[in-house]
Amino acid sequence: MGSIRVREGRYQANVRRKGYATVTKTFTSREVAKRWIKTTEIAIEKGEYSPKISITVAEMLDRYKLICLATHKGADASEQYRIKLLKNYFGVIPLCDLTSAHLATFRDERLKLVQPQTVKRDLSVLSSAINTAIIEWNIPLKMNPVSKIRWKQTDQPRDRRFEDGEESQLLSHATPFMARMITVSVETAVRRSELLRIKRSHINFSKQTLEIGLTKTGKPRTIPLSSRALKALTEQLRASDRVIPMEEQPIFQITGSRLFKDFQKLREEIGITDFRWHDLRHEATSRLFEKSLNLMEVASITGHEDLKMLKRYTHLRAEDLVGRLG
């Protein structure tokens, strides 16, 4: 919407558009000001004019966190952490000035500290926020700069699995509480966030199943429980009930950050290197395939919607497949 104000004999032309700062220019002639308004509005409509967008990266991320993550059932502490990380790094940059060069610098600095998949997840959160701003908030960016980021072809998906004796080492040195969490994770392939939300009411003892209500994809699923998983859950319920009634509380009373630190400390104490909590999900998923479950059966347990993503979890050991070849 265009308007003209007269100030000290000069004509101040203003063009306002949702998502943009007001564009202003002053002329000595009203007619020239009108022509400029018309030309500017046409250029904006055609996408040929890009006035400044009046929102910073930090403001966008705050809005994304407030509106989107609050209603995203799969959101967990890791997403909250990534938003904080991104705000600290990019916060004061106007969204319209955010370029792939900024993102490439962020990528390269983060790669000095963490693995490529972690950096990709960081930028995935930023990309999701920008896409939301473009599609749902009518922020007129021409493109999402995250889409321009390139990765080395040599970056291979992580395929860390237990080596001989590592699982028994972890379980024998862990506290009973930690051992039960490890057992449930490696038997069910649940994500860390899903593990920490399990309640007594989610467990069906007669059918030997576990209801996973809040998931990363936002879709609930019911998974079968092995006898080992059921035993660990039962023991945890008994231990928890001695401290606090667990009917409507998560049975594993620990935060994600505390679990991360305790697991890291346990690994360091027994000398197991380069093994992360999420690797338990890799291990569990691969074991499901080794038990001859097909792709769709495994997906129904793990909750993967992208079957291509699921395929890279199938880190099967050749020696475990020999017997099936005859």
The pLDDT of residue 21 is: 55
Mean pLDDT of 279-284: 92
Domain limits, the chain: 2-45, 57-148, 166-325
**Cα(198)–Cα(303) distance, rounded to whole angstroms?**
15
pLDDT-derived band at 188, boundaries 50, 70, 90: very high
Q: Is residue 28 within 8 Å of 11, Cβ to Cβ? A: yes
- Please give the backbone phi and psi of residue 26, each rounded to the nearest 5 degrees, phi first: -110, 140
The pLDDT of residue 161 is: 87
Mean pLDDT computed over every residue of the chain? 83
Is 166-325 in CATH node 1.10.443.10? yes
pLDDT-derived band at 186, boundaries 50, 70, 90: very high
Highest-confidence segment of 9-23, 34-48, 252-266? 252-266
Lowest mean pLDDT among 125-139, 144-158, 186-200, 283-297: 144-158
Question: What pTM value is reported for the model?
Answer: 0.59
Q: Is the pLDDT assigned to residue 32 strictly greater than 70?
A: yes
Nearest to 193 by CA among 281, 315, 109, 100: 281
The pLDDT of residue 164 is: 87
Output the CATH code of domain 57-148. 1.10.150
pLDDT digits (tens, 9 = 90+) for 201-228: 899 999 999 998 766 666 789 999 999 9
The pLDDT of residue 8 is: 81
Q: Is the pLDDT assigned to residue 187 strictly greater than 70?
A: yes
The pLDDT of residue 15 is: 84
Mean pLDDT of 113-128: 88
**Cα(188)–Cα(225) distance, rounded to whole angstroms?**
7
- Higher pLDDT: 239 or 22? It is 239
Q: Is the pLDDT assigned to residue 74 strictly greater than 60?
A: no
Q: Is the pLDDT assigned to residue 75 strictly greater than 70?
A: no
CB-count burial class (<10 Å; 0-12, 13-18, 19+) for 244: exposed
**Cα(321)–Cα(12) distance, rounded to whole angstroms?**
77
The pLDDT of residue 38 is: 85
pLDDT-derived band at 325, boundaries 50, 70, 90: low
Lowest mean pLDDT among 137-141, 224-228, 285-289: 137-141
CB-count burial class (<10 Å; 0-12, 13-18, 19+) for 9: exposed
Q: Is residue 31 within 8 Å of 13, Cβ to Cβ? A: no
pLDDT-derived band at 246, boundaries 50, 70, 90: low
